[in-house]
Amino acid sequence: MKSYVVGIDMGGTNTAFGIVDSRGNVLAKDSIRTNTHQSINHYIEELYNSLTALIAAQGLTGEIGGIGVGAPNANYFTGVIENAANLPWKGVVPFASLMEKQFGIPVKITNDANAAAIGEMTYGAARGVKDFIMITLGTGVGSGIVANGQLIYGNDGNAGELGHVIVRPNGRLCGCGRKGCLETYTSATGVAHTAREFLELQKADSLLRRIPMQEITSKDVYDAAIVGDKLSVEIFEYTGKILGEAFANFIAFSSPKMIVLFGGLTHAGDLILKPIKKAMEENLLRVFKGKVELVLSQLNEADAAILGASALGWEAAQ
């Protein structure tokens, strides 16, 4: 088997890619724009040119065994990207087969959160762990579920949509068109939403009142919370409580050894981790109490998405 793989992290704006060895070292990386390519063929062509140059510069031409891709709405089973709201290509794109044709290398794709879970299992906090749940807390909330040492894709490749578990019936309107999804409360966007709600409904003074209401971000809430702003601390407590309650239900499903957290919101550290842990333990069925670890991703954040995708490259290479 060849000794290197490529991981590609496709986002709505940029696509980052890197060459990775079997120990999870990113030997070289680069990126191209995603959203400037209205044609999928042009996008793949630019990707091919940039990636081929990167591989050649490392003297690794012919040494790449597989390519793994993490992308929005990517289906592991079919290799297609379907109706991705944040990508320029509408409808059904047979991405894996187009890539294989261009590169002549086996390609596997899955969504970003599944890629993160595989990355964590291959190189990170979940090495050797057969049952865990990966939760990504970013602009949205994603998840990847591993049971019996395998990622759960489900019947149609869409398993692990835990950001869209309804936690508050008739709650906040979600981008998916339904109401009360976990994501509407616990994504970075959800935290900013909570901030606006708290500021409107409560009289308390807060550093956040210095920022125009519609411009408040989760980063602002964090900045205020770490200098002791009470309202901002409460926003994280509220967010953590909803996450902890949801985690207690997830645990009743698959009884994981650990829940691994990743993404921007985890930078808040104990401000969010403590309320999560508290609400999780309070809501757990007795048989699970005190047994499930809550851990942070051990992947270097700058490389995590590439690493996650690259882990799937090893699977493609087999």
Could you list the residues that contact a copy of itself (CB under 8 A)? Answer: 130-131, 145, 147-148, 150, 152-162, 164-166, 169, 176-178, 245, 248-250, 252-257, 283, 285-288, 291
Please state the φ and ψ torsions of residue 44, each to the nearest 5 degrees. Answer: -65, -35
Q: Is 100 or 161 the residue whose CB approaches a copy of itself more closely?
A: 161
**Least distance (Å) between residue 83 CB and a copy of itself:** 9
CB of 152 to a copy of itself, least distance (A): 5
Closest approach, Cβ 80 to a copy of itself, in A, equals 13
Name residues whose C-beta falls within 8 Å of residue 167's C-beta, 6 or more positions apart in sequence. 180, 181, 182, 185, 242, 245, 246
CA distance linking residue 53 with residue 205, whole number of Å: 55
Q: Looking at beta carbons only, is 59 or 177 nearer to a copy of itself? A: 177
CB of 286 to a copy of itself, least distance (A): 7
Give the residue with the Cβ less far from a copy of itself, 125 or 268: 125
- Residue 65 makes CB contacts below 8 A (sequence gap 6+) with 1, 2, 3, 4, 5, 105, 106, 313, 314, 316, 317
Residue placing its CB nearer to a copy of itself in the complex, 43 or 250: 250
Q: How far is CA 176 from the centre of its chain?
A: 17
Judged by CB, which is closer to a copy of itself: 256, or 275?
256
Query: What 3-state DSSP class applies to 110?
Result: strand
Residue (28 or 285) nearer to a copy of itself, CB: 285
In whole angstroms, the minimum distance from the beta carbon of 277 to a copy of itself comes to: 17
In the complex, the smallest distance separating the C-beta of residue 222 from a copy of itself, rounded to whole angstroms, is 27
Closest among 31, 20, 34 to 81, alpha carbons compared: 34
Place of tokens 């270097």: 300
Token readout for 171 is: 């709650």
